[in-house]
């Protein structure tokens, strides 16, 4: 079974992770680009008004028989809104998929409790696995609980490579 990665990133952290994972897995990487510039204000507006932004995405680029890995940030306990448009186009068509995020939220079982349910609703089935990699792990201990510090953190290539190595090991156990 082939693997395809579909990713979106606002800060660049999830794109760097997706690039490194695609290299590690030797697979295709489709990066989603928005047609308009995004800010934290537009994230809030999209959340309040349940808007889905316009993106550049060609459904024909995706073989739905492939194992699809979606990589994106989580905003306010939801998958980043630009990926929602992809979900609309692929709903009910994907065979098996995973969701991965380099995220800034709190760690632990309660960090994004409704994510599996949300993904099932958006794509028509539950993911095989959800992997959340918390950026706070890379911060000094005194800064780990600061959302402000975590939001401005930029992954380094070596850190993304390490994350990709860990994720590929996890995926090999289930796929």
Between residues 143 and 90, the one the model is more confident about: 90
> Which domain covers residue 41, as residue numbers?
3-174
Q: Can you give the pLDDT at residue 72?
A: 96
SS3 162: helix
Q: Can you give the pLDDT at residue 117?
A: 94
Q: Can you give the pLDDT at residue 153?
A: 83
Q: Which of 87, 76, 170 is nearest to 125 (CA)?
A: 87
Tens digits of residue pLDDT in 87-137: 999 999 999 999 999 987 655 445 667 899 999 999 999 999 999 998 878
Which CATH number belongs to the domain containing residue 22 in this structure?
3.40.50.360
Tens digits of residue pLDDT in 24-62: 999 999 999 887 787 777 777 777 777 777 787 776 788
Q: How many domains does the chain contain in total?
A: 1
Full DSSP string of 58-95: -GGG--TTSEEEEE--EETTEE-HHHHHHHHHHTTT-S
């Amino acid at each position: 079974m082939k693997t395809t990665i579909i990713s979106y990133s606002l800060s660049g952290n999830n794109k760097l992770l997706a690039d490194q994972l695609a290299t590690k897995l030797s697979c295709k990487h489709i990066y989603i680009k928005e047609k308009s510039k995004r800010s934290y204000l537009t994230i809030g507006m999209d959340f309040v008004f349940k808007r889905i932004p316009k993106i550049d995405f060609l459904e024909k680029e995706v073989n739905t028989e492939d194992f699809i890995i979606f990589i994106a940030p989580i905003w306010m306990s939801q998958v980043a809104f630009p990926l929602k448009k992809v979900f609309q186009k692929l709903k009910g068509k994907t065979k098996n998929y995973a969701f991965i995020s380099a995220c800034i939220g709190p760690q632990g079982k309660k960090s994004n409790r409704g994510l599996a349910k949300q993904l099932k609703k958006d794509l028509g089935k539950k993911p095989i696995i959800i992997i959340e990699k918390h950026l706070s792990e890379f911060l000094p201990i005194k800064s780990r609980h600061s959302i402000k510090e975590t939001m401005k953190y930029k992954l380094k290539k070596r850190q993304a490579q390490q994350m990709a190595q860990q994720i590929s090991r996890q995926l090999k156990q289930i796929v």
